[in-house]
Structure 1
Amino acid sequence: MIERYSREHMLQIWSEKKKIEWWIKIELLVLEALVACGRLPKAEIADIQKNIAVSVEEIKKREELLQHEILAFLEPLAERLGPAGRFIHFGLTSSDILDTTFALQLKEASKLLLEDIENLLELIEQKAIQYAFTPMIGRTHGVFAEPTTYGLKLLQMREEFKRAHSRLSSAQEEISYGMISGAVGTYAHLDPQVESFVLEKLGLKTEPISSQVIPRDRHAFLLNCLALIGSSIERWATEFRHLQRSEVLEVEEPFKTTQKGSSAMPHKKNPIICERLCGLARLLRGYALAAMEDVPLWHERDISHSSVERVAFPDATILLDYMLLLLSEVVKNQKVYPERMMNNLSASRQLFASEGIMLALVQKGISRKEAYEAVQQAAMNCWKGDNLLSFYAKSHPLISSLLKPQEIDSLCSIESYLKNVPFLFARCGLKIHSHSINP
């Protein structure tokens, strides 16, 4: 992933240096297990443990000759260790090292992403409570619908990212499997106890049956989970972009005092962070598709997945880490305009009350069809006119014959639409104290 969209703590997980450290650790643990089983001499293994080392540069140079990454790692190791080097990689195949290391990388990367989501959830929760009773017009199909609050909107966001956290936790569990089972996974030259020993030390579970590689459905599940989180990020970035449109202007993403929005128009304040998030989500979905295509390997294994995984998984985890940071900054530092929300709510001229009036008419004894048509007539007059819906409802013969003016006024109040805000917060596990509208 390019430096622009990368953070150091996630980059470290995917660094060549860190990868080689894991390779060495796995090889040493295998030797330790083999000594414990009585397969190898303890004295020579002690020498290996003291002297084992290899640099990234050595491996790269050797790989140019061998065109095989693990052999390029093993040969300089063996040369450095002398006669004891013959025990390195005893009974193993390349995938024992590669796939187990890959599991460690993905487990660690997932841990960082889970922490990112937890930080985001904390910020969303604070804002949701702060704006729990801040009324705004809800929109369906981009058109005024009925009143809601900005806090309820953010409560939806909180629940979505709670689900994201739960899914990623499951995906982390599913990817945390390693293997030390040798060629085609049959343990022909290894005791399965070696595998158990090594994986327990690494904090991984044992793949129940490998084919020489860990099945790639595990990896596809994780990457699809990351892509889904990206789509959730895009959903809310899109929402904030719409709320920042000039004709709406209820919420703005952060804009620094030194920031410039356009090379041509000095007045511009564009939602560039949220637009960037929408673009990056497209990349994540592309990586997810590539991971799905890695699942059907030939027979016990082929290497067609390798080139995809070297790009897709580091990029996807680095990218999502960056995206979650950006979204957290947007939530934390966004500007919210309650007065503008109230102005837009007022601009609906009470059209939001159409359903309430219709249901009140039904309760008076007329059919739903009659009630719907009567209220629709009043609403269409409101759309064309310049007065409130309550005015046109009171002027409608059928409506006014069944509902008193004060009943119509009550049905057109905002408060009646927000009475269940505390209930909704409580159902999501949050307690809020004030029940009054906070414009």
Structure 2
Amino acid sequence: MPSHITESRIHGGAYSSPEFAAIFSDSNQVQTWLDVEQALAATQAEMGIIPHEAAREIARVAKVELFDLQALGQESMETGHILVPTIRALAKACSAHWGEYVHYGVTTQDILDTGLILQIKDAWGHTLSRLHSIREHLRVLALRYQHTPMVARTHGQQALPTTFGYKVAVWLDEIDRHLKRFDEAQARVLVGNLTGAVGTMAAFGAQGFEIQRRTLARLGLAAPLTSWHSARDRVLEAAWLLVQTSMTLGRVANEIYHLQRTEIDEVREHSRAGQVGSSTMPHKQNPSTVDLISALSRLVRAQMVALTDAAFQLHERDGTTWRIEWAALPELFIYAGALLTRMDGVLAAGLDVREERMRSNLDLLGGLILSERVMLALAAQFGKQTAHELVHEVSLDSRRSGISFRDALLKHKRLQGCFTPQALEDLLNPATYTGLAADMVEQVARKPLSTPLHGAGEGAISTQGTLSQSQYVMEDM
């Protein structure tokens, strides 16, 4: 019976996504270990270290469907070792004596860390695919509402006019920076590790660098300059990229959540047929998906705290902290996958942008939202500081007396004759005081995006395809 919320049938998969759950499943994790073992054997055969027959046999049986995962788990508990049961099962599955060449010259952490990077590489591709889809939804939205005026709010209060398209363009620009970060990080993150027991490659001898380079190239990974068994910055960087992205999307979700408040009601999440907001209040239509996204963003961030603890490795390797990573990293990725999937879905379904409500909210303060514009118009005559004091005084009078900002300005003694009625009407038109918002939308939404949809680190092969592609293939010597 599932006991974790990411696997809960009651929650209907709300806290997970099929793609990310599959990547971090037991079966896929074991398959990545097998992929590394067979790639290593293939390289060693090419280099004359082990017989070709051994490499072919290891490749033939290195398929997770041939293994009993429950039995592997039981043996792991009995041995106190996470990988030895898989090594034994792989060796036993080989015919004749070819199993003697399994796991030749490497250590457990080589296999687990490289397997983990294979999982991260696969998740990387899914993440970029979702982010590019989200980006395109936001780009279209920004252009559609490029000139749609609405209230900008600071400190929770009405501030000045802006446009809804510009609000979305700010989100879009942030997504573009994340995509660039992913692009820049690939060469650092998508790197395997086959350096042996303490990272010196002693078991490989003089051929160590070439064994590692060829094996990792088969897996679509770059080779490190030194062992990173105890240096967890690559894992932390991959996780932090997802945390930053999740925080951005959580902020977007939180903004939509608040804009859907009854008192504001400028943007609504699409309401699905059959959606129910309350078990006791039939009228409720809650923003159920964006509040889930907001919660998921916090869950992603929470796992990062645990991962930073996992970075405090002792000496050349340390299980006391490494084991934290085993628990926290898959959760972080699975929560992030759910978040990306839900946000992509919300935007694909379409937001209900209520332009008339945006316009009426601009008039809510009776013109006070244009106080800056009026102040700057008066600054030429009175100076900026004096103009600020005068408009502040008029604003307070308008609020106290309940008269419009326009009428309060016209009746103020020191401002007599400063404005004609028509000039004041023009100044108090919020639609004409959105600054360069539309131009900035154009800059963001029309710029070319150079970040590739998929990619791998320097020296690595394509990330396209499944995780179990490192079949035994001879290379010309």
Q: Does 1:281 find its partner at 2:286?
A: no
2:151 aligns to what SS in structure 1? strand
Sort the Cα spacing of 1:64 and 1:388 in 2 relative to 1 into closer, same or farther, 3 A.
same
Find the aligned partners of 1:50 and 1:428 in 2 and give their Cα distance: 51
Q: Which position in structure 1 is the counterpart of 2:367? A: 350
1:427 aligns to what SS in structure 2? helix
1:181 aligns to what SS in structure 2? coil
TM-superposed CA distance for 1:331, in Å, is: 2.8
Sort the Cα spacing of 1:16 and 1:257 in 2 relative to 1 into closer, same or farther, 3 A.
closer
Sort the Cα spacing of 1:51 and 1:159 in 2 relative to 1 into closer, same or farther, 3 A.
closer
AA in 1 matched with 2:336:
L
Q: Which position in structure 2 is the counterpart of 1:69? A: 82
Q: Which position in structure 2 is the counterpart of 1:157? A: 171
Sort the Cα spacing of 1:194 and 1:246 in 2 relative to 1 into closer, same or farther, 3 A.
same
2:427 to 411, 422, 432: 411
1:34 to 33, 36, 44: 44
Q: Which position in structure 2 is the counterpart of 1:435? A: none
Sort the Cα spacing of 1:252 and 1:426 in 2 relative to 1 into closer, same or farther, 3 A.
closer
TM-superposed CA distance for 1:424, in Å, is: 1.2
1:147 aligns to what SS in structure 2? strand
2:231 to 195, 210, 215: 215
* Bigger helix fraction: 1
Contact 1:251/1:335 (<8 A) preserved:
yes
Q: Does 1:8 find its partner at 2:8?
A: no
Farther off after superposition, 408-417 or 242-251: 408-417
Q: Which position in structure 2 is the counterpart of 1:271? A: 287
AA in 2 matched with 1:150:
F
2:83 aligns to what SS in structure 1? helix
Find the aligned partners of 1:381 and 1:49 in 2 and give their Cα distance: 83
If the length of structure 1 is used for normalisation, what is the TM-score? 0.92
Equivalenced residue count is: 429
1:252 to 251, 256, 268: 268
Residue deviations 1:259-308, cap 9 Å, x none? Answer: 22112211112222222222222211111111111112010011123332
TM-superposed CA distance for 1:51, in Å, is: 4.5
Q: Does 1:393 find its partner at 2:409?
A: yes
Q: Does 1:242 find its partner at 2:255?
A: no
Contact 2:161/2:433 (<8 A) preserved:
yes
Q: Which position in structure 2 is the counterpart of 1:179? A: 193
Q: Does 1:428 find its partner at 2:444?
A: yes
Find the aligned partners of 1:197 and 1:257 in 2 and give their Cα distance: 54
TM-superposed CA distance for 1:198, in Å, is: 0.4
1:17-416 equivalences under 5 Å are 17-52=27-62, 54-55=66-67, 56-81=69-94, 82-190=96-204, 191=207, 192-210=209-227, 213=229, 215-332=231-348, 333-364=350-381, 366-416=382-432
Farther off after superposition, 285-294 or 386-395: 386-395
Contact 1:78/1:85 (<8 A) preserved:
yes
Find the aligned partners of 2:391 and 2:234 in 1 and give their Cα distance: 55
Sort the Cα spacing of 1:47 and 1:257 in 2 relative to 1 into closer, same or farther, 3 A.
closer
Farther off after superposition, 108-117 or 377-386: 377-386
Residue deviations 1:68-119, cap 9 Å, x none? Answer: 1211111122223242211111111111111100011011112111111111
AA in 1 matched with 2:107:
T
Q: Which position in structure 1 is the counterpart of 2:475? A: none
Sort the Cα spacing of 1:45 and 1:147 in 2 relative to 1 into closer, same or farther, 3 A.
closer
Contact 1:168/1:226 (<8 A) preserved:
no
Contact 2:149/2:431 (<8 A) preserved:
no
Find the aligned partners of 2:296 and 2:163 in 1 and give their Cα distance: 29
Using the aligned pairs only, state the percent identity. Answer: 28
Find the aligned partners of 1:51 and 1:396 in 2 and give their Cα distance: 89
Find the aligned partners of 2:54 and 2:272 in 1 and give their Cα distance: 62
Find the aligned partners of 1:305 and 1:105 in 2 and give their Cα distance: 20
Contact 2:32/2:116 (<8 A) preserved:
no
AA in 1 matched with 2:369:
F
Contact 2:260/2:287 (<8 A) preserved:
yes
1:145 aligns to what SS in structure 2? strand
Gaps of 5+ in 2: 1-5, 448-477
Contact 1:375/1:399 (<8 A) preserved:
no
TM-superposed CA distance for 1:214, in Å, is: 5.9
Sort the Cα spacing of 1:279 and 1:422 in 2 relative to 1 into closer, same or farther, 3 A.
closer
Farther off after superposition, 282-291 or 327-336: 327-336
Find the aligned partners of 1:156 and 1:32 in 2 and give their Cα distance: 49
Find the aligned partners of 1:317 and 1:94 in 2 and give their Cα distance: 23
Sort the Cα spacing of 1:421 and 1:48 in 2 relative to 1 into closer, same or farther, 3 A.
closer
Sort the Cα spacing of 1:372 and 1:47 in 2 relative to 1 into closer, same or farther, 3 A.
closer
**RMSD of the TM alignment (CA)?**
2.0
Q: Which position in structure 2 is the counterpart of 1:436? A: none
TM-superposed CA distance for 1:135, in Å, is: 1.2
Find the aligned partners of 1:31 and 1:331 in 2 and give their Cα distance: 46
